[in-house]
Structure 1
């Protein structure tokens, strides 16, 4: 490329740090923009860095992407950019796979321990100044089914195994002797896999095949004492069915970091359920995560400028980065 490449960076209130963007700023014309200016910034741009990974503005501005070669999203999930025009284009899409794996695994373990030791119940007793002896559950020997066998699912599996839990995976293809999951069962048999799981952890990407995979049928297939942890996507769950399963005692509890409507409406029944833990889509947001996302992009930018293969290339038909 004889001219400087043009890189559009879509941001919200927070800009990437200047020092971290220096490798890009020194080699490219960088256009920082909010949603309102995205179409103008895309005109003639070679690269789009979707730093505002929650934005839904890309489809409406896509008509202006007349020179775009590469789109990078600062997230593990790529569903915001899997609209038909992008999927059918020649634009390479990459994601930020690997940044959140360890933090999300720690979150899942924390939620499982919170259920087993009833930490919310202890806090309620403390707040009422009540001294009440109780017994707790062990997690060692309990079974976790991890639905989604990508890098985040693998990090969760390794940590739960280290804590003494029996772990299985549920993925697109079944296989034996997996180094992290032991056994991976085919997702087509998900209802049959749920009956033995004490904890069901959803980390699957959002695709047309996984949307609403957790519904009345799958919750009914779980054991009554099972707990459900969702750190994947809110749209993996039919939320009304989850509420009914919790109310009826079909399952014993849920820890939810993602929702099909975010922020979760203030009047939503999930807020007031004593067997539900809610966090605001921050299970992977460790101190320094925003900077780590910029570094993933700038490292890939160095490869792109040098003509080397990009990391974390999304298979646009599958809707995620295939496992190595």
Structure 2
């Protein structure tokens, strides 16, 4: 039974409500809201579940958050809610770290193999009914740099290593004995190390330090035969510099799942450039992922409701969950 001290939960979800919320609804007053009604939903709310994790509506509605103690976002990235007022507040922020690790790693392995074996070229020739023999590249022995050493980056590293690639990482701290990457280079040395790698995979969280880190200088430092893969955030890349690098043959190709502007405009050159694979922000979305996101939230809600420590607590100054938390 819902009683007088029942917590109030606001859920930012738009038209698509999260599944499997009945258990939470039995112990909380749940207010489902789209972007326009979020301020009203936040008044008197104790917690906010940002189920629509691509929405940027929270900052504008924050003025109405008069009782809020906890925000949970249904994604690993927290940049849509990482605004100054939230950083400065006592509100606890948690994310959905762990849900997408393996599926994103599978996507990355898939595009690496697609590039090496020219699967897009084979599909194009098949559509033309053309029998054109080509030689393909080996994956084994190629070198990959995973920029971002969180759980998703580690899952990518393990899968690429199992396929025979030689993998290194890039993160805040340099180290030589990492169990998944072996060597981890410091992010400050990105341009220095880029010439060493055949595949560069961007999966870093979006922070002031990582925004635009892949720019003209970075692409000029890469091998002409290198491929760039972005499964992190679109804003990690200066898109115009990437387009120029691809057009001028400074890099051999790119697989892009995230973009500065989403959806990617239909007239954008990335749709038609040679050597580019475009997917609509779906690298982590496996069958049943929405249910899994709610399971993660429901576990944390039960912890929060009973006064136990929350999982996946974000360090609001760093912008991500520190290792070991």
Name the TM tier (shorter chain). over 0.9
The answer for the alignment partner of 2:257 in structure 1 is: 257
Q: 1:126-165, aligned counterparts within 5 Å?
A: 126-165=126-165
- Deviation of 1:33 after TM superposition, in Å, equals 1.1
- In the alignment, the residues of structure 2 paired with residue 147 and residue 116 of structure 1 have an alpha-carbon distance, to the nearest angstrom, of 20
- In the alignment, the residues of structure 2 paired with residue 11 and residue 281 of structure 1 have an alpha-carbon distance, to the nearest angstrom, of 18
- In the alignment, the residues of structure 1 paired with residue 130 and residue 31 of structure 2 have an alpha-carbon distance, to the nearest angstrom, of 58
Q: 1:108-257, aligned counterparts within 5 Å?
A: 108-257=108-257
- In the alignment, the residues of structure 1 paired with residue 131 and residue 103 of structure 2 have an alpha-carbon distance, to the nearest angstrom, of 34
- In the alignment, the residues of structure 2 paired with residue 276 and residue 111 of structure 1 have an alpha-carbon distance, to the nearest angstrom, of 10
- In the alignment, the residues of structure 2 paired with residue 9 and residue 95 of structure 1 have an alpha-carbon distance, to the nearest angstrom, of 14
- In the alignment, the residues of structure 1 paired with residue 107 and residue 300 of structure 2 have an alpha-carbon distance, to the nearest angstrom, of 28
Please, which of 4, 7, 31 is the counterpart of residue 6 of structure 2? 4
The answer for the alignment partner of 2:60 in structure 1 is: 60
- In the alignment, the residues of structure 2 paired with residue 247 and residue 16 of structure 1 have an alpha-carbon distance, to the nearest angstrom, of 42
RMSD of equivalent CA atoms:
1.0
Secondary structure, aligned partner of 2:21? helix
Unaligned runs of 5+ in 2: none
Q: TM-score, normalised by structure 2?
A: 0.98
Deviation track 1:61-89 (CA, whole Å, cap 9, x = no partner) reads 10000000000000110000011101110
Unaligned runs of 5+ in 1: none
- In the alignment, the residues of structure 1 paired with residue 193 and residue 213 of structure 2 have an alpha-carbon distance, to the nearest angstrom, of 13
- In the alignment, the residues of structure 2 paired with residue 273 and residue 13 of structure 1 have an alpha-carbon distance, to the nearest angstrom, of 35
The answer for the alignment partner of 1:13 in structure 2 is: 15
- Deviation of 1:13 after TM superposition, in Å, equals 2.2
The answer for the alignment partner of 1:320 in structure 2 is: 320
- In the alignment, the residues of structure 2 paired with residue 59 and residue 78 of structure 1 have an alpha-carbon distance, to the nearest angstrom, of 13
Q: 1:274-313, aligned counterparts within 5 Å?
A: 274-313=274-313
Secondary structure, aligned partner of 2:17? coil
Secondary structure, aligned partner of 2:311? coil
Secondary structure, aligned partner of 1:35? coil
The answer for the alignment partner of 1:103 in structure 2 is: 103
The answer for the alignment partner of 2:87 in structure 1 is: 87
Q: Which moved more, 1:8-17 or 1:40-49?
A: 8-17
- In the alignment, the residues of structure 1 paired with residue 244 and residue 77 of structure 2 have an alpha-carbon distance, to the nearest angstrom, of 28
- Deviation of 1:2 after TM superposition, in Å, equals 7.2
